[in-house]
Amino acid sequence: MHRNRMTDQTADSDDREITKGALSGIRIVDLSRVLAGPWCTQCFADMGAEVLKVEPPGVGDETRTWSPPSMGGHAAYFTCVNRGKSSIVLDLKAASDRDRLLQAIAVADVVVENFRAGSLDRLGLGSEVMMAANQRLILCSISGYGRSGPEAARAGYDFVIQAESGLMSATGEPEGQPLKVGVAVSDLFAGLYASQAILAALIARDRTGKGTHLDVSMFDCQVAAMANVAANALATDMPSQRHGNGHPNVVPYRVFEAKDQPFVLAVGNDGQFGRLARDVIGQPQLADDPRFATNEARSCNRDLLNASLADLFRQRTAETWLTALREVNIPGGRINDVTDALATKQAEERQLVQSFSTEGGQVRAVRYPVCAEGLCTKVTPPPKLGEGGEALLRNWLARQPRLRKP
């Protein structure tokens, strides 16, 4: 059993040994809001970093108001990206609060911000000011299009990035409209790429003694995450095509209708296709048919093959087919909704859901998804507006900085 797993229990009832987390002692000033930045900084909080979430007076991070639904007095949206943090309220238009922010930056390891280009400069908190306050600082700026180029001044919105990056052009049925992904993946990719880059910058700082400014563009990250679709375009100079639930390079790889409900089949290589033909559908001649014997041939004849398979799969139930696929190690699965996925025995055994008891009631969240000894800490619930931040800042200042000359 993984000792660092987040468990589905109240945060004050666990008497097991609690690790400090791999990033214990790392100080993060979180000037970000909504999703990409908070997703990045929550990863650090899960791994034990001290995250000071800076919020404006009033409602704070706007996702605090993005309800229903709510849990434990918080909008559910807010709970998914802000656990384990401390909140401090600062009005960055006020000189005194700007000074307090610079005090925090001077003793921090990392600042993550997602202001529009020029906004922090107008407040007297631009990158040069921050880096002057702390030469060892890792400053990570997340924006829609980066800090250079003709689109640098534009705000970044996930839906727009999905459209402009080519993701929507590759998503949806061939004869239908382009579709966005049902989760804000452009935000999430940016947050994950940012966390990876910050970790690399912290390692580099240990060698050089110097900080750096990371320029993270949602557009860049989403284009990079197009992976094989982008590689196909570079190889052919042809626009991507939509294949619905199919795959542009691998066949058969799609949703099929069984007698009772749809299921997913993901044949990844010629050996799997041979087992599908011989052992699952009882059509061994398909594996030897030159039109289907190789993935390249199957891709060229995808419509013919998929139509033949569709007729066969309608004859039996989804569970019958999935059992047969599992017996010969061919990937396939039922199509769950999220509540189904969270209730699976696999999710239960992996203790994928953690639960917090708060004054406002129970808060449940999906834990950091990597298990390793000593990686994660036992984190706290998302903070109320202004909760814990003043105490954390006082602690930082009392402990005094890691300011070492480069």
Give the single-character DSSP code of 388: B
What residues form DSSP beta bridges with 362? 357
Region of 69 please: left (phi>0), alpha (psi -120 to 50) or beta.
Answer: beta
Tokens of 323: 């059992």
What's the CA gap between 332 and 325, in Å, rounded? 7
Q: Which two tokens stand for residue 267?
A: 């044949």
> Residue 46 — φ and ψ, nearest 5°?
-60, -30
Identity of the amino acid at 59:
V
CA 287 to chain centre: 39
Q: SS3 for 380?
A: coil
CA-to-CA dists, residue 106 to 23, 44, 103, 335, angstroms: 19, 19, 5, 50
Q: Which residues are catalytic?
A: 187
C-alpha distances in Å from residue 179, one per residue of 223, 242, 262, 406: 16, 10, 20, 49
Q: Residue 12, SS3?
A: coil
Tell me the backbone φ, ψ of residue 138, rounded to 5 degrees: -100, 105
Tally the C-alpha atoms within 13 A of residue 254's C-alpha that lie toward its C-beta: 24
How many CB atoms lie under 10 A from the CB of residue 128? 10
